[in-house]
Chains A and B, each alone.
Chain A
Amino acid sequence: MFCDRFFLLKNVSELRKAIETGAQTPRQRSLWNMMLSCARSGPLNYPWFTPFVAVVTQEKQDVEKAKRVIATYADKLNHQNYCTGLQFHFWCFAFPHAKWAMYYQWLCALGAYTPEEREELDAVFLNYQFTNFYYGMRTKPEPECADNQTLSLTLSNVIVGYLFSDTRIGKIMLRDGLKRLPEIIGRLPASGYTGEGSDYMDCVNGPAMWICCEALEEITGEKGVAFKRFEPNGVRPVDVLDICAREWMPGGLLLPWDNYGYNCGVKAPVAYAAKITGNARYYEMLEKDADWAYDIGTGWAYDDMVWTLIFWPTQAPSVWEKTKNWFVSGVGGALVGAGDTQYLMQMWDESGVECPTRSHVNPNAVIFNAYHLPVSADGSKMEFDCTRFEYPDTWRVVDFLSMDSTSRYNYGDGCIGAHSCVIVDGNESMRAMTEYPQTKSEDCSAEEGYLSSDATPLYAEHFPDAIRVSRKSSLHCDRFFVIEDDLRFGEEHLLTSRFLLRPGAEPCENGVRIVTPEGVVLSLCEVGGGSEISVENVKNYPHKPDLACVIADFNRRAKKLDRLFVAFMSKRFSDYEQIGGFRAVADEKGDLCYKEAAKLLSDPGETFDLSLPPFMEREAKICSVWWFGKKIAKKEGKAVLVLPAGLIEPELYLNGKKFDLSPYDRSMQLIRPHVPLPDEFSGEGQIDVVLKTRVPVDHYYGKGWGTYGMNGGVSLAYAQEEERPEKIEYDGKTLRVCTNKKEYVTEYVRSGDEK
């Protein structure tokens, strides 16, 4: 193995200089401090940071810690052989193995090992790759398999094969990996979207794509790989990275576009895209929307922030886009209004055939987000008990989830009934049963602010008299959305426009109003009314963010129906005032009571802003239970205390009185709890705020589902009356939306009238 350079790290001395001098942004400096603190305080708690820290500092203590991590990983491999995951889902293990082989190479390049140590470790890394992941890559049919699994396997063979290309086995793996990798990239759809949803796009394909680019450039000497069109589909890696970035909603959560629902955005692909394109959109995402506390797991690893730091662009942005609206042909698009406080995404990507566990059946489904907070519900029930979307014809028995038994599960939550779509005659388990183009046409304009797609083929498979089933979403007055469902059949059907929304339904004329736990309000009204509206509360679906949702159905029997909806979103709280300067007390035994903690918090000392656990912010002893306290000054009026997201088993005390946080039990994993303070706190004055929370003390707290912990800090906001529509009128040409605060007038031509 070569040791004259660090694989994929082009200029370590420049990187070190930038990090040590903090020459770039404060974010870069704080990221580095976090990694250094974690790697030094708990190398086996935060192993994925240790090799990078060792390379940057090259201090003996950091190198020794990284060596200990590598030794622990090597020791794990023999035990891992009996794992159901390795034997049946080997691709998940291939990508991290390649990463550890690369990190091992970094340490070798640092001269960290004796020749004897290296001989044994070389054999361990190389042999494990050969017998598990060369085997794994060859299991995947060529060329048919071009997905996140095959990409991971093939990339791992390229990387490990290259690192050990001084061996015969290494040469074979590199040869076969290099032969296959370009075609796998090229067989991804030209849009860059694989149809596997946000989770697989952002957590596997995106993180694999930047490594593909960097590895191919280093190994082959070719330049500009990210912008090269790979055949047969002509996809460019930069398009894959862009889709990953497009999946971020305002606020940083990923679209709930697949089986796994909402998740935190993955940063390294965005940082890489920023570096190679200079596009200001990526810079803004990193600065404004990213969560910097924890990694959710990218390519089955926890090194997203390491690579984000490595790729942090050194040049100022050079490309600015005219609009934040976007669409990608064959995939979907989004409309973004009022800064980025109003957001609607409409999707028309192809769904999975027969068993849509990954690519859900969501033709023209819409997702709402307002004020950087999610409003819609989507995803799956995961391990929770929910029979609502279990249909008799969507059961499946598989034998790859356990070593010695079969598992039976229902994939109904991947079918059309669990999405914000048009449903015909109550056929909720509708899905494509054969392969065909599921979308007939699309008509979109980012500049003019509309997205339209005709999904008739998918409906026609089940309802042969379907003539047209299309949806058009448009942004008006930079303030609200109009959704038009143009539905035409040869016979009369029950036509349902279904919307899955976060819980909190309130009555509303001609529609439904949702007030999320944070106080964001969606008024979804059918223009002119006429439909029978039903509102159903569902428990245990989807698993994020609330473990509950509301199904709002607009039902009407008709052969032809051209429905218009107005979606108007507002909020019941003012802009945030960020509050820092909290004292912190580590509760090492976890046995402090409020009084004891409050007394300790009153002592002077270091303060924190609660955007990270203290030991991640500064080098300190790792501790899982923390108390934070501060006297917060507030103005006259009803206030909303906005706590950090990712709190675990929290306790909140206001002036010594414990406050109930149970309404946020579930949502606080991803969303900052917006806690309306009781009336007794309405006056001007000080509030003694004490917050207790548990924090993850390693990369693995989430047990494979990503690690979430305290992030986002504390803010104060004040209650305000939301803007809501009181009258909506449409005369076939002009749409008037009169709210309690303003009148909006816009021209609107129905899609049917255009033809």
Chain B
Amino acid sequence: MKETLLAEESCFESEESLRKNAAHPDWRVRYAAAVAIGESGNAEFLPLLEQIVKTEKTRPLYSQPSCHFENAPDDTAMAEMVGPIRARFDKEYDDFTLQAWQCRGRVLQAAYFAYAKLGKESKFLNEEMFRILKEDVDDAAMSAGYVAFAACGGKEVYDRLVEIGGCTHYCAGVEREKTLRILREKCKLH
């Protein structure tokens, strides 16, 4: 984890490091890169952000089956336990898959929060987010997407959000209402 942390930290140090680490094989570093892009507020990094989201699109983020744990239940009771605890799946999975399950929408969330801070519209990022909203699976990524739409979207985004309709998740639902209100005001819609 020491090397991972060094790479994460370097994302905030120089543009060169950031560009290099945006394609890092470890999703944690890409997560840090997305946060660093947001921190920079520099719209020139928009293509880099698109690249980060493209990478996430290729990963099986939401396909994890239930896991069995030695010495712990699969619920919030694990929070208070120290261990030793072991995770066991019904069969062997490769590291690419396991890492995707650990990550879920973390990188996507960081990317969309960063997108909100860059303030410049990206058709690709919009389309990806519309896809995620339609899937209605990940509260964290969807919430960040709505925040980004509020910052970067216009009438077209508003119309498509209305067309997609509400969501079943609490946080995303709150952000959706805020975003629709902001876009209505921004586009002078009634």
Contacts and interface: CB of A to CB of B under 8 A. Distances in A.
Contacts of B28: 127, 130-131
A69 B81 CA distance: 11
Interface of A: 44, 47-48, 69, 72-73, 75-76, 79-87, 89, 92-93, 95-96, 100, 119-120, 122-124, 126-127, 130-132, 134-136, 138-141, 144-145, 167-169, 172, 297, 300-302, 399, 401-405, 699-700, 703-705
Contacts of A86: 78-79
Contacts of B12: 168-169
Interface centre among A122, A141, A145, A402 (most CB of B within 10 A): A141
Given A83-B75, A85-B76, A119-B2, A75 B101 contact: no
Nearest to A70: B82
Contact of A704 (B32, B73, B84, B140): B73
Contacts of B139: 139
Interface stretch (B40-48, B51-59, B63-71, B122-130): B63-71
A300 B67 CA distance: 21
Contact of B171 (A135, A145, A403): A145
B75 A704 contact: yes
B82 A69 contact: yes
B8 A127 contact: yes
- The secondary structure that dominates the B interface is helix
B175 A141 contact: yes
Contacts of B133: none
Interface in B1-35: 1-2, 4-5, 8-9, 12-13, 28, 31-32, 35
A89 B74 CA distance: 12
Contact of B79 (A47, A122, A300): A300
B104 A87 contact: yes
Contacts of A123: 1-2, 4-5
Contact of B113 (A44, A122, A138, A404): A138
Contacts of B118: none
B92 interface: no
A705 B143 CA distance: 31
Contact of A403 (B32, B66, B78, B113): B66
Given A92-B76, A141-B171, A297-B80, A82 B87 contact: yes
13 contacts: A72-B83, A73-B83, A81-B101, A82-B102, A83-B75, A138-B144, A139-B140, A167-B9, A403-B74, A404-B65, A699-B80, A700-B77, A700-B80
Interface centre among B4, B66, B85 (most CB of A within 10 A): B85
Contacts of A132: 106
Given A131-B31, A704-B73, A93 B67 contact: no
Interface of B: 1-2, 4-5, 8-9, 12-13, 28, 31-32, 35, 39, 64-67, 69, 72-87, 89, 101-102, 104, 106, 109-110, 113, 139-140, 143-144, 168, 171, 174-175, 178
Contact of A81 (B31, B77, B84, B102): B102
A140 B8 CA distance: 23
B44 to A, nearest CB: 20
B84 A72 contact: yes
A141 B5 contact: no
Contacts of A301: 80
Nearest to A302: B80
B66 A44 contact: no
A461 to B, nearest CB: 22
B148 to A, nearest CB: 12
Nearest to A150: B171
B171 A139 contact: yes
B75 A145 contact: no
Contacts of B76: 85, 89, 92-93, 300, 704
A82 B75 CA distance: 10
A100 B80 CA distance: 10
Nearest to A168: B12
A134 to B, nearest CB: 8
A79 B64 contact: no
A172 B39 contact: yes
Contacts of B140: 135-136, 138-139
Nearest to B65: A404
A705 B76 CA distance: 10
Given A81-B102, A82-B87, A169-B5, 6 more contacts: A72-B84, A96-B80, A123-B5, A700-B77, A703-B73, A704-B76
Q: 4 nearest interchain CB pairs?
A: A704-B77, A76-B83, A123-B5, A85-B76
Nearest to A135: B106
A127 B77 contact: no
A253 B35 CA distance: 45
Given A138-B144, A139-B143, A704-B75, A79 B2 contact: no
Contact of A84 (B5, B74, B168, B174): B74
Nearest to B173: A141
A700 B72 CA distance: 10
Nearest to B176: A141
A83 B66 contact: no
Given A72-B84, A138-B109, A168 B5 contact: no
B150 to A, nearest CB: 11
Nearest to A124: B1
Contacts of B168: 399
Contact of A141 (B81, B106, B143): B143
B118 to A, nearest CB: 16
A244 B79 CA distance: 23
A85 B83 contact: no
B149 to A, nearest CB: 14
B2 to A, nearest CB: 5
Contacts of B85: 76, 79-80
A180 to B, nearest CB: 14
Nearest to B13: A168
A82 B67 contact: yes
B84 A75 contact: yes
A133 to B, nearest CB: 11
A73 B75 CA distance: 17
B178 A79 contact: no
B111 to A, nearest CB: 12
Contacts of B109: 135, 138-139
Interface centre among B1, B13, B79, B143 (most CB of A within 10 A): B79
A692 B186 CA distance: 72
A703 B77 CA distance: 6
A169 B2 CA distance: 14
Contact of B82 (A72, A85, A167): A72
B81 A76 contact: yes
Contacts of A402: 66, 74
A240 B103 CA distance: 36
A81 B4 CA distance: 17
Contacts of A145: 171, 174
A200 to B, nearest CB: 13
